[in-house]
Structure 1
Amino acid sequence: MNVDLRYLGKSSVLGAAQGLLVRFSPNLARPKTFFDASLRHPIRFREAVSALHDVVVGDLKFKPKDKTAYLAWKKAEAEREAEMRKQIHDDAKRAELARIAKEPVPPNLDKDFQKMHRIYWDARIKWANELASNDPEMFRHLVPCDPVVTVAPDVVFFECFSKDESSYGCLSVDREAFEGAQEAGLGTTNVDYSIALYEHFQTLRSYRKTRLSVDPTGFEVSVAGSSDYREEKIDLPPSWLRGFGQIQASTCLPSRRVELGVEAVYAILAHLKRNREKSGPRSLRFQLTPGKPPVVVLDPWGIEVTSRGPVYDGGLEIGGYMPSGGGPYRSAPVGRSSVTEEIKVWGRRRLFALARVLPLCESVEVRLLGSGLPSIWIAKMGEMRLVLALSGWTANDWTSGSGLDMLAGAINPDKRTADLAIRFLQKEQRATLSAIAAATGAPEEGLVPALHLLAKQGQLIYDHADGVYRHRQVMPTALSESLLGPEHPELVEGRAIAKGAVSVERDEMLSDGRRAVVAKAKGTSCEAIFDADFALKKAKCSCSYFHRNGLRAGPCRHLLALKLVVSGSPIPAPPPPAPAPAPAGGSMWSSGERFALPREIADELQKHAARRSVTTSRLLEEAWDIAGPRIQGARSWTEALALAAGTSVKSIATRKVEDAREEPLALHPDVLAEVSRVADRFRAQKAAVLSLAWLLARRSL
């Protein structure tokens, strides 16, 4: 998308007799937006805006070894050889141009153009990376990183993306942070930003009065002939625009709210600063037990950091919509109030963007969408708040990786409701979900998808810090589908399948308040467990999309169709309070087939099952869900055994009768059928296949 930027002068920090002036030059090509007032706490603003800068320049994606010298030699050799052929090449080129001069336009011209365009952008990105490392000043002139600034009735907030588009930062400054008279023109604009401006920010001091100005003079004078006036035309990549909408998709998903003490975040960053992991896993594991302080475990060291802040309340929130209606967060599901839930997040070194604001923080609030999904960190600093939204992991940017549209967009938005909502927000500028529902007459649960549609079009933002929706146009006009790209094909097909092609075979309520559903969607077998808010807690499908991605890239079309059908169907009756005890194998599926497992593995399974208070059968079913696709992807039994390392594998390959112990296992029929097929294919015992699955999955369980 081509964007016009018109600036009068450059943003700067100017010295004066009474203090400093932080002057931002706004984009004159956008509607008039300005702000001018004195800061009460310049140090807070300095540290917070510097943290925002760290987000902008952040790029933690893997960088291969520098081979510049070798490539330069190789290029010189190629040029020497090419010089010998240059004349022949030029003659051939002239002959070819003469031949095709009168031919019609080839039918594949557009396809070839897209291919060449991709080559151009790959080269441009590579060149930009080299400039960022070797010539930051030139990089700033060529690569747009101007933040988006919004002046609202109650706050002024700055938004930006990281260079690798995996991190989003938003600095929100309350109007109470300013003193004296305030001049403001409400709206959203870009402001000129540079590395030099960041360096000037470091000169802010508490003993000097500081004034923040989104300069209004640029709108009041004739600037066409000014030497400081400049126009820039940049081609914004669609991923930058889509990213703003994808961030708002997270508001349509259930999130766990966790309050961390500042000392807990400091301990995490301090350990990561002093230590570099040499092997995986590289995750932060949140261990959440309702009524107890949250615990964060740093892998692979296994170090536990216990927060001294508020205890975890076990509740959910969905874009400001509280499903239970009784308080700000839904209470923990009945029967699971003391169960510990574990959520893993990756890409933790991006949290160093919070390092500068920690000394000024009162607390840090974390919103967790689920394992491998984005997380949102809110650093609270009195009248300022810094929101850091991180994608699932560093290499998984907001645009392409998480499949949030498929997780959040399974409900069709009502465009009439969306039109009413945006008109109301344009008038009020900010509103809670309940206020928008009252103004539009739509129920809160049906309003969230409509607001998500507006967020994808760049028309509004959900303020995680204040819990309100705000009118904010990231571009002067709504972003069209041609810019954002069409909806994901899995989502489109899922909606089509939901219209009569889903056959539910089993639908029952579990004792912990969740809902288990087994069905066939367009002839494909799938099953899922939903929580009270119809969020997918666990799922399985026999299609190739799920086999490749699981739920990491969002649910497949069959699971999406199942979710649409289940969310609109009545809730089945709950199970009786005292169900009949399970058979010896610990499962409802059968009386239990006996499997000769290696004694060492059988003992390990028993200990692990006792520690988790589950049956051995259930443990092996979970292990098969994790390791089954890897085993099925092997070409031989030898290759499958090579997937696991350690002496335990030898007990499977060279098993003796005296080293085996028969265990009665009652496995799900689908699991048993898959294990049998793999065993027949590799000419191995079913017990050996199950044992291998356990060895591959035990670290994840």
Structure 2
Amino acid sequence: MSPTDVAEVKLRYVAASEPITDDETFRLHLPTDAVRDAALVAKLTRPGVTRDALMTVADVLASDLRFKARDRADYLAYLIAQGKRVSNEVWEAQKAYLEEKFGGAEASEQSPLDPIVSVSEHGVSLEVFSADESAYARLFLRAGAAYEAVDGSRTDGTTHLSLDDVLLRGIGRMRSYRTSTLEFGPGQPGSSDAAAVSERDIQVPLRWLRAFGQVQAASTLPAREFEIAPIDLYNVLLTLRMRRAKTSPRALRYELVPGEVPRLVLEPWDQVIEGTGPAYTGASPIVVRTWGRQRLSVLARLLPHAKRVRVRLVGAGLPAYYILDLGDAELTLALSGWTDSGWAGIATFDLLVAGEVDELLAKKVHDSLAAAPAGSTLAELASATGRSINEVRQAILHHMQRGTVVHDIAHDRYLARSLLATPPNAEALRYRDEREQQAHRLLAIDNAVRLTKVHELAGEGTRIEGEVEDPQAHRTYRTSFTIDREGRTVDASCTSPQYRRSGLREGPTVPMIALRLLFARRQAELERARGTEEGRKLIRAETRVLVRRQGPRRVTSEAPSSGLAAANTGSVTYRLSLDDREVVVRWGTHPERMRMHRLRFSSSDDARNEYFGRLASLGDKGFIDASAAEMV
């Protein structure tokens, strides 16, 4: 699949209008796509909360952290005027490049989808996905609580919303002291002027649609969920606003210990923010590192309205989900940490691709969801179809890949909702681009992709080396790269023609992608195998780092404040290494001044039993396996 493949979408909107307002009332029309039917007139219960929620969704839609080239046209014009050695051809080439990349007709036609609005008897939902493919938000306004629908005004369905600057200015004028009404619909009520209707033919990149489905699919994985107070998230945003990280890693780390309040740690300063919410109720302690923390600033305007914040962490390198309970509404924010200009996420989402799907089962699942406006859980779908939960989950992933099902993460229910009027073929969305497709082709060939060396660089990352044999090209490529602690590729080399021609300027090579995918699959297999006795026998060498904070910890939010000060007095670190028949134990409060015990055994089985026994013992004492946070 070529990266320029797109889905053609036709949109018809009326022009956005100014709100109709006086001292006591406010009325605003939100133009929706006339091609698809959905309408509602809603009298808002809390206009101020709805205003801030809509503005937050708009901020997520507008966020774009991709690199943008600087416009040097004015500087080149100055050099030409001064008689410098800059030809007019260089100036024209620069202008043509910028026009094509940022202002040309093709660039204006290719764009993400407008916000997706779904109307039902239970409420209104608004979904957006950023242009750089790293932030997703879903706002749900509950019917009867967040608003009262005017009789006869509701038309159930899914459509698009034109969220332009004029409309945002109108939304910003909503005030809590006015009786406010929002009108979702394709045309101005009582108006027959068709001249104001504008038609747009946009081209939505298939890679954007694929990334949209991947963020949804990641939410179906088993997750560690806990609750933090809104003030905890505010303290994170305040710290990030006052301090600027100059070195990596720039992550927000969660340290979770059963029976204790969650701890938020800001890297690289290792600044600890003790949670003030309920205690973590998970079965075992764990550390999870999340990325994209600067994007949390979009929640700043909503935190004063939030009653609580739930966090769902599905694993290192996967999206983190923040669910804000606004009382009569919920906002779900998903941050993946990757943008479409990066490629580390390729391996992260590889295991979320739907496998072989029974077409009959897929149709039954979709029909069942379409008949349930409130949505269904996996267990309810399994009962309705008579299939296992795993089979139903594969069907759900298939529909998510096509954009015909959405996961209501706040309530853990699945709903029928189509991103496009005509959903694209699932096969067209299977791969990110042609190079990823070629990488999967190589992985399907037995022993064509081989890991030759995986070396842990202390405090820096992981060095990966391998060989990739391409039978079609009759060539064997040697490739290597280093994944730093933030999951980025900081050093790479490859013997392929693409790398010799342009390095990484054209993105990762096919051998690099294939090797990265193989490494991620091997890591996932080993991690799953740790829970079984047979799987542990496959582990002959590894290193684990466990951490426990010194000083008393607060167990609940009602604990006295003296415990908060004592909790940040430092930490004790254990580094356990298994190497065949040897176990090395290092521990201490400073990473450069650690004590060490070296234990040798007569057999590798005895060493392995001692190694896992010590890991279990430290876990029972409240030590957290921090090495899991390093996996990318």
Distance 1:282 1:667 in 2: 43
Q: TM-score, normalised on structure 1?
A: 0.62
Distance 1:566 1:297 in 2: 24
Match of 1:286 in 2: 254
Match of 2:457 in 1: none
Q: Which runs of 5+ in 2 are unaligned?
A: 1-6, 455-461, 469-477, 488-512, 542-569, 586-591, 605-626
Match of 2:363 in 1: 419
Match of 1:38 in 2: 43
Does structure 1 conserve the Cα–Cα contact (< 8 Å) formed by 2:449 and 2:467?
Answer: no
Q: Which amino acid counterpart does residue 12 of structure 2 have in structure 1?
A: R
Match of 1:195 in 2: 165
Match of 2:319 in 1: 374
Does structure 1 conserve the Cα–Cα contact (< 8 Å) formed by 2:28 and 2:183?
Answer: yes
Is 1:178 matched with 2:147? yes
Residues 663 and 239 of structure 1, relative CA distance in 2, 3 Å threshold: same
Match of 2:345 among 375, 381, 401: 401
Give the drift of 1:233.
1.6
Match of 2:517 in 1: 556
Residues 124 and 49 of structure 1, relative CA distance in 2, 3 Å threshold: farther
Is 1:48 matched with 2:53? yes
Is 1:353 matched with 2:298? yes
Match of 1:468 in 2: 413
Match of 2:615 in 1: none
Distance 1:668 1:249 in 2: 44
Give the drift of 1:344.
0.9
Does structure 1 conserve the Cα–Cα contact (< 8 Å) formed by 2:584 and 2:599?
Answer: no
Residues 307 and 559 of structure 1, relative CA distance in 2, 3 Å threshold: closer
Structure of greater Rg? 1
Q: Which amino acid counterpart does residue 230 of structure 1 have in structure 2?
A: S
Match of 1:207 among 174, 177, 182: 177
Name the SS for the 2:351 alignment partner.
helix
Is 1:444 matched with 2:413? no
Map of 1:163-174 to 2, 5 A cutoff? 163-174=131-142
Is 1:611 matched with 2:573? yes
> C-alpha offsets along residues 106-152 of structure 1, whole Å, 9 cap, x if unaligned?
xxxxxxxxxxxxx9998544348xx9xxxxxxx99996663111112
Q: TM-score, normalised on structure 2?
A: 0.68
Residues 433 and 213 of structure 1, relative CA distance in 2, 3 Å threshold: same
Residues 420 and 297 of structure 1, relative CA distance in 2, 3 Å threshold: same
Does structure 1 conserve the Cα–Cα contact (< 8 Å) formed by 2:16 and 2:30?
Answer: yes
Distance 1:494 1:440 in 2: 37
Q: Which moved more, 1:486-495 or 1:434-443?
A: 486-495
Does structure 1 conserve the Cα–Cα contact (< 8 Å) formed by 2:31 and 2:162?
Answer: yes
Name the SS for the 1:611 alignment partner.
strand
Name the SS for the 1:428 alignment partner.
coil
Distance 1:546 1:438 in 2: 48
Does structure 1 conserve the Cα–Cα contact (< 8 Å) formed by 2:60 and 2:129?
Answer: yes
Please report the RMSD computed on the Cα atoms of aligned residues, expressed in angstroms: 4.7
Map of 1:300-339 to 2, 5 A cutoff? 300-314=268-282, 332=283, 337=284
Give the drift of 1:2.
2.3
Give the drift of 1:428.
1.7
Does structure 2 conserve the Cα–Cα contact (< 8 Å) formed by 1:588 and 1:666?
Answer: no
Does structure 1 conserve the Cα–Cα contact (< 8 Å) formed by 2:137 and 2:333?
Answer: yes
Q: Which moved more, 1:485-494 or 1:460-469?
A: 485-494
Give the drift of 1:384.
1.1
Distance 1:367 1:615 in 2: 30
Distance 1:391 1:426 in 2: 29
Match of 1:27 in 2: 33
Match of 2:12 in 1: 6
Does structure 2 conserve the Cα–Cα contact (< 8 Å) formed by 1:396 and 1:402?
Answer: no
Residues 491 and 184 of structure 1, relative CA distance in 2, 3 Å threshold: farther
Distance 1:347 1:566 in 2: 25
Residues 50 and 620 of structure 1, relative CA distance in 2, 3 Å threshold: farther
Q: What's the % identity of the aligned pairs?
A: 27
Does structure 1 conserve the Cα–Cα contact (< 8 Å) formed by 2:354 and 2:398?
Answer: no
Distance 1:12 1:171 in 2: 23
Distance 2:318 2:238 in 1: 24
More strand, by proportion: 2
Distance 1:219 1:439 in 2: 41
Distance 1:427 1:473 in 2: 14
Distance 1:257 1:566 in 2: 20
Give the drift of 1:29.
1.5
Q: Count matched residues.
A: 508
Match of 2:21 among 6, 15, 19: 15
Name the SS for the 1:420 alignment partner.
helix
Give the drift of 1:68.
4.5
Name the SS for the 1:407 alignment partner.
helix
Map of 1:589-628 to 2, 5 A cutoff? 611-612=573-574, 614-615=576-577
> C-alpha offsets along residues 284-316 of structure 1, whole Å, 9 cap, x if unaligned?
1111112211111011221101111121122xx
Residues 411 and 21 of structure 1, relative CA distance in 2, 3 Å threshold: same
Name the SS for the 1:452 alignment partner.
helix
Match of 1:344 among 266, 289, 303: 289
Match of 2:221 in 1: 253
Name the SS for the 1:233 alignment partner.
strand
Distance 1:125 1:39 in 2: 42
Does structure 1 conserve the Cα–Cα contact (< 8 Å) formed by 2:122 and 2:143?
Answer: yes
Name the SS for the 1:556 alignment partner.
helix
Give the drift of 1:239.
3.0
Distance 1:526 1:442 in 2: 42
Does structure 2 conserve the Cα–Cα contact (< 8 Å) formed by 1:150 and 1:188?
Answer: yes
Map of 1:439-518 to 2, 5 A cutoff? 439-481=384-426, 483-484=428-429, 486=431, 488-489=436-437, 496=444
More helix, by proportion: 1
Q: Which amino acid counterpart does residue 190 of structure 1 have in structure 2?
A: H
> C-alpha offsets along residues 227-264 of structure 1, whole Å, 9 cap, x if unaligned?
21221222222233223212112124332212111111
Name the SS for the 1:268 alignment partner.
helix
Match of 2:244 among 254, 258, 276: 276
Distance 1:290 1:619 in 2: 33
Q: Which amino acid counterpart does residue 206 of structure 1 have in structure 2?
A: S
Match of 1:156 in 2: 124
Residues 440 and 123 of structure 1, relative CA distance in 2, 3 Å threshold: farther
